[in-house]
Structure 1
Amino acid sequence: MISKNHHYYLLILSFLILIGCTSKNDNSFIISGTISNLEDDFIILSQLTNIQTNENRVIDTLKVNKRGKFNAVYFLEPNIYALTFTNNKTIQLAIDKGQHIKIVGNDLENLKISGSVDTQLLMDYEAFRKKSLKTLVTSIRNKIKNLKKEQSNENEIAKLRTLEVENYKIHLNQLTEFIQEKMGTSIAIYPTSLRWNSENLPILNKIVLDFESTHPNLAITKKLFERIELLKKTSIGATISNIKMPNELNQIIQLDSIKSKYTLIDFWASWCPPCRTESNLLNNLYKSYKNKGFEIYGISLDTNKERWLKALKNDNRTWINVSTLEGFKTKVSTEYAITSLPTNIIIDSEGKIIATNIHGEQLKEFIEKLFE
């Protein structure tokens, strides 16, 4: 029979062995917490596997006891994880090695998360992003809604639509500044890459190089470099590879088949108000310069063919129009990291990019100078 003292020593030994194994495994973290009025008896833990397509992989189900307590140790590398409850409430976590994430609250709407500086940075970023978007973009959209109710002049609304697009670019620049100034080499940088653009490529490239120096062998390090490579494909000076997509008659139209001096590749959708407003400007440019060597290759990120075709007719989009009706899952959209609309790329006859994301009066002036 084992004595009580012997049993006690065995427990101590087991505990020390567990600590020893944990300390040798760099990729370990703990998730625990107490949510008083939680009705769930389990929580799903998943890992973000693709930021652009928002794909996640289920890792585990955390058991929750009757008092709302849960606790689990994981031997997984630093990454972006999420806890999902049965009511579809999701908490996103940026977890680095050795962290003990604690989640405490009386209900799902009032939770305090501690133990992870990376998760805190991610929450700070999201708070800043929402505030910036509200100030620069949502405020403009609200003005447009009010003007529509008042049946105001369409020209005034069109100007605000252009301002909305310009302000969104400022918004993206503000997000890049936040990452550069506040986030260092935090794991939380990975989900921010969804809103990176080629205009800030030099800054973003340095951010990724610094990230690699701290996290050289992580899966998300590789993904960040892949994101940089995608942005390089749409930066000025790069050459666009051939695009093959079906038009409204299901005929395959190749970008390489266009023999114009300059081609504007226009990413848009019928549900995008700024895109629809820009149709007027594109119409005027097309009429003025089509016979001088200007073409438009319109790529719709619609998912509904009827709405796409209706928009083509109503907006008089008489240039080349193509779509696979797969939305942002369209192959060319993922290949060129298109995450917002409208987005455009202007190429010369050799397929070389000479401008990206210029709209409104700036686009008009740029095209005019090309044909002076």
Structure 2
Amino acid sequence: MKQLQLFILLLSLFTSPFIIAQNETSIEKELAESHKPNQKIQDSLSKLIKEYNLKIELETDTAKRNLLTLRLDTLWNAKDQNDINQLKLDFDFARKHPNSLKALEIMKINVGRFTGMNFYDTFVEVFQNFSPEVQNSATGKEMSERLKYFKQSKVGSIAPAFTLKDITGQTVSLSDFKEKKYVLIDFWASWCAPCLEELPYIKELYKKYHQQEFEIISVTQDQKADLWKNAIAKEKIESWKHLSVTENKATIDKDYFVYGIPHKVLIDKNGVIIGKWKGSSENNKHELQQLLKSVFEAE
């Protein structure tokens, strides 16, 4: 009898990893299937967006060009909503598979994306629903850390403090602006095409509101100082403050939960984050502009 029990124990030890692997493979296939409908919509929208971008580029009539741009904005809105719909399905998927590392992995990927920006509470709820074994795994610990940085950098939180050297060697601290100015932190890089495309728009905001207690701090992720400095000179954006993550050996991008650029954070005079935008889109530009307008009209 004891020999039989020992045999069963040994068998379970050797077969359990195989069973877990089988389950994860099955879960991965299930997840892939759940993504197909939304992926089909995303592919169609991406194709249309590409077509409209080409039409706008070729159109010479201003009125027609504006109409095409409006249509393009609608397509981007639809794409964003489709991504959010998929995220919600992923949340449901993770809830149904609390013992799956694959389900946790998809949560870890989504938590840093644009679509997940307004779902902090849901990410926490879903993560806490995972089994202790999954939560305490290496991926679980990474997810827990991401949630910590997500929490401290989301809208409504006190902005993480920093004291760093700017491009001129002067010290810049976020506390310098408390009770004095609104601060827009713009994470960018000289190699980031969408970041460069937004600079004329950022320059207009600075020109319009700088005299009304508005400051911009650009934070580059460039690895080479000469590329960063050359880009600042070329784009004629010396007017506001510039910091380098690399030059300062800083963690400011991590502290503000930056997983991709452009990434913008608006901080009020009390040091509270009142706006956050990931990626480049007309919607982001419009929201930032409207928020600044409401702030400075109210004062």
Q: Same fold (TM over 0.5)?
A: yes
Distance apart, 1:147 and its partner CA: 5.0
Distance apart, 1:18 and its partner CA: 6.2
- Residue equivalent to 1:195: 110
Is residue 246–residue 324 contact of structure 1 (8 Å, CA) maintained in 2?
no
CA spacing shift, 1:224–1:263, aligned 2, 3 Å: same
- Residue equivalent to 2:224: 304
Q: Does 1:21 align with 2:6?
A: no
Count of residues in correspondence between the two structures: 276
For residues 72-113 of structure 1, the C-alpha deviation after alignment (integer angstroms, 9 at most, x for no partner) is xxxxxxxxxxxxxxxxxxxxxxxxxx3244xxxxxxxxxxxx
Distance apart, 1:189 and its partner CA: 2.8
State the SS of the aligned residue for 1:238.
coil
Is residue 162–residue 274 contact of structure 1 (8 Å, CA) maintained in 2?
no
- Residue equivalent to 1:256: 175
- Residue equivalent to 1:80: none
Equivalence map 1:45-60=2 (5 Å): none
Is residue 198–residue 234 contact of structure 1 (8 Å, CA) maintained in 2?
no
CA spacing shift, 1:321–1:182, aligned 2, 3 Å: same
Task: Give distance in 2, aligned partners of 1:313 and 1:164.
Answer: 35
Is residue 245–residue 324 contact of structure 1 (8 Å, CA) maintained in 2?
no
Equivalence map 1:280-299=2 (5 Å): 280-299=200-219
Greater shift in the superposed pair: 160-169 or 229-238: 160-169
Task: Give distance in 2, aligned partners of 1:160 and 1:306.
Answer: 40
- Residue equivalent to 2:284: 359
Distance apart, 1:214 and its partner CA: 7.6
Higher relative contact order (CA 8 A, sep 6+): 2
Q: Of Structure 1 and Structure 2, which has the larger fraction of its residues in helix?
A: 2
Distance apart, 1:339 and its partner CA: 1.2
Q: Does 1:181 align with 2:92?
A: yes
For residues 150-193 of structure 1, the C-alpha deviation after alignment (integer angstroms, 9 at most, x for no partner) is 48699869989977986775465234212123333332233322
Equivalence map 1:164-175=2 (5 Å): 169-170=80-81, 172-175=83-86
Percentage identity across aligned positions? 21
Is residue 41–residue 82 contact of structure 2 (8 Å, CA) maintained in 1?
yes
Equivalence map 1:129-140=2 (5 Å): 134-136=43-45, 140=49
For residues 179-217 of structure 1, the C-alpha deviation after alignment (integer angstroms, 9 at most, x for no partner) is 123333332233322332331112212211212468454
Bigger-Rg structure (1/2):
1
Is residue 162–residue 360 contact of structure 1 (8 Å, CA) maintained in 2?
no
Q: Does 1:369 align with 2:294?
A: yes
Distance apart, 1:308 and its partner CA: 2.4
State the SS of the aligned residue for 2:130.
helix
Distance apart, 1:223 and its partner CA: 2.9
Query: What TM-score does the superposition give when structure 1 sets the normalisation length?
Result: 0.61
For residues 250-307 of structure 1, the C-alpha deviation after alignment (integer angstroms, 9 at most, x for no partner) is 4442222235431111112223333222212211111111111101111122233333
Distance apart, 1:344 and its partner CA: 1.2
Task: Give distance in 2, aligned partners of 1:213 and 1:264.
Answer: 39
- Residue equivalent to 2:263: 343
Task: Give distance in 2, aligned partners of 1:370 and 1:283.
Answer: 18
Q: Does 1:268 align with 2:223?
A: no
Is residue 141–residue 164 contact of structure 1 (8 Å, CA) maintained in 2?
no
- The alignment yields a C-alpha RMSD, in angstroms, of 3.8
Equivalence map 1:22-171=2 (5 Å): 22-23=11-12, 28-30=16-18, 98-101=19-22, 116-121=25-30, 123-124=32-33, 134-136=43-45, 140=49, 143-144=52-53, 147-148=56-57, 150=58, 169-170=80-81
Task: Give distance in 1, aligned partners of 2:129 and 2:289.
Answer: 39
Structure 1: gaps of 5 or more residues? 1-12, 31-97, 102-113
State the SS of the aligned residue for 2:245.
coil
Q: Which amino acid aligns with 2:49?
A: I
CA spacing shift, 1:288–1:195, aligned 2, 3 Å: same
State the SS of the aligned residue for 1:116.
helix
